[in-house]
Amino acid sequence: MREKLLLTSILLIFTFISLSLLAWGDTLSDYTSLSYPGISTFVDATWSPQGVPDCKVPKGARIRYASIAIFIPLKTGFLYLIGPFNSTGMHIGETYLEMNLLSGLGVRLGAFRSRFGRMNEKHLHSLNFTSHPLAIYKYLGPNGLRGTGVALTYLMPTDTFWELEYERYLSGSGFLRSDKPVDVFRSKWSWSIGDESELMASLSWLSGESLSGQYTVYSLSLSYYWLPWERRLYRDLKVDLELFSKRTSGSSPLSGGYLEISFKPGKRDQRWSYRYDNVEVSAGLREERHSVSFTYEPSEFTRYRIQLTYDPHRDRIYPAFQVGYLFQMGQHPAHTF
């Protein structure tokens, strides 16, 4: 009860500060001297007659994701708070301070999702499907990799984008022990291909302890993004490939990954996506998924999605329908490519 009262008080204080700054900013003539805070509300509901096994899509109609996010920009960084709702009420999901210390050097403090690999850091409302790739749930945990700790990032002084990041969590999550620290390292590169294409690659390494002993996961991701300046048949094209290798003490190495292709055919409010998941869950046993989704966004505030997932081992198709709502006032941190 005391925790809920404390959380409610924090949210009310943040809301009051944000609204006060917004109201104060409207009275100023020089908006360049003010950085606006922001408040966002996300709600995602799904309906599936059978659910989707191992992908956190339940049977029936459910509100899967609902949260209030508060973003306060600072002079050299920002403060971000997300208060998600679930069946037990509202709690603090992510609260962290991110700042630039020196030229190219940044720090992130608090509770946050890890930037391991490509998809782990993304929230449900920013995905092209109703769930994360299967490898995230099988290798990083049912809620992905996240925790309380510190992260250091360094942008290398090179002509090509090259960023190094080290994360240290006080305790593990998912399959990792909650009484042992977790280390994550990531190296990320990006290259421009002409004026309309971008290629990105990353190498990630996770080290922690599970109940079975040392727990290590490696990730290699490749991403391609094409966005033409002129209006053509395809407005944009995104391709993501990520490969995983998981190693546990006393067990054989396991491997898996996914391939995701997403594009907009002409109209800005429509997106088609395909994803193939292939994950080794134990020695000699693999799980596969073929997923196709169609997303329709009539405005910046609403989203409708139809998804079909085919499981070749069960020889079944699992349909799912998703409705999303987004309300936003003020600023919101951009999603990184």
DSSP string, 250-312: TS--EEEEEEEEEEE-S-TTEEEEEEEEEEEEETTEEEEEEEEEEEE-SSSSEEEEEEEEEET
Instruction: Give pLDDT, residue 178.
Output: 84
**Across residues 131-138, what is the average pLDDT?**
93
Percent of the chain beyond pLDDT 70?
82
Pairing mode, strands 161-169 and 146-155: antiparallel
pLDDT tier at 311 (50, 70, 90 boundaries)?
Answer: very high
**Across residues 105-112, what is the average pLDDT?**
91
d(CA 118, CA 109): 21
242 burial (CB, 10 Å; 0-12 / 13-18 / 19+) is buried
pLDDT tier at 335 (50, 70, 90 boundaries)?
Answer: low
Instruction: Give pLDDT, residue 28.
Output: 44
Q: What sign does the dihedral 150-15-67-1 (CA atoms) show?
A: positive
Each residue of 255-272: pLDDT tens digit? 999 999 999 887 778 999
| Nearest Cα residue to 188 out of 215, 216, 154 | 154
**Across residues 23-47, what is the average pLDDT?**
63
φ, ψ of residue 5 to 5 degrees: the values are -65, -40
**Across residues 98-115, what is the average pLDDT?**
89
**Across residues 4-18, what is the average pLDDT?**
50
Comparing 190 with 236, the larger pLDDT belongs to 190
Least confident of 16-25, 94-103, 262-271: 16-25
Instruction: Give pLDDT, residue 301.
Output: 83
Host H or E run for residue 141? none
d(CA 54, CA 261): 21
Instruction: Give pLDDT, residue 3.
Output: 42
Instruction: Give pLDDT, residue 17.
Output: 52
- Kindly report the CA angle at 318 between 316 and 321, in degrees rounded to 5? 165
Instruction: Give pLDDT, residue 136.
Output: 94
pLDDT tier at 107 (50, 70, 90 boundaries)?
Answer: very high
- Cβ count within 10 A of residue 313: 10
Each residue of 211-265: pLDDT tens digit? 888 999 999 999 999 888 765 555 889 999 999 999 998 888 999 999 999 998 8
H helices of 58-169, in order, are: 134-135
Please say if the pLDDT value at position 318 is more than 90: yes
* Domains delineated in the chain: 2-330 (2.40.160.10)
pLDDT tier at 89 (50, 70, 90 boundaries)?
Answer: low
Please say if the pLDDT value at position 10 is more than 80: no
Please say if the pLDDT value at position 12 is more than 60: no
Q: What sign does the dihedral 24-97-219-186 (CA atoms) show?
A: positive
Instruction: Give pLDDT, residue 29.
Output: 43
91 to each of 2, 11, 142, 299, how far by Cα in Å? 12, 11, 18, 29
Each residue of 158-173: pLDDT tens digit? 989 999 999 999 887 7
pTM of the model: 0.83
**Across residues 174-187, what is the average pLDDT?**
90
Average pLDDT, the chain: 83
**Across residues 300-306, what is the average pLDDT?**
89
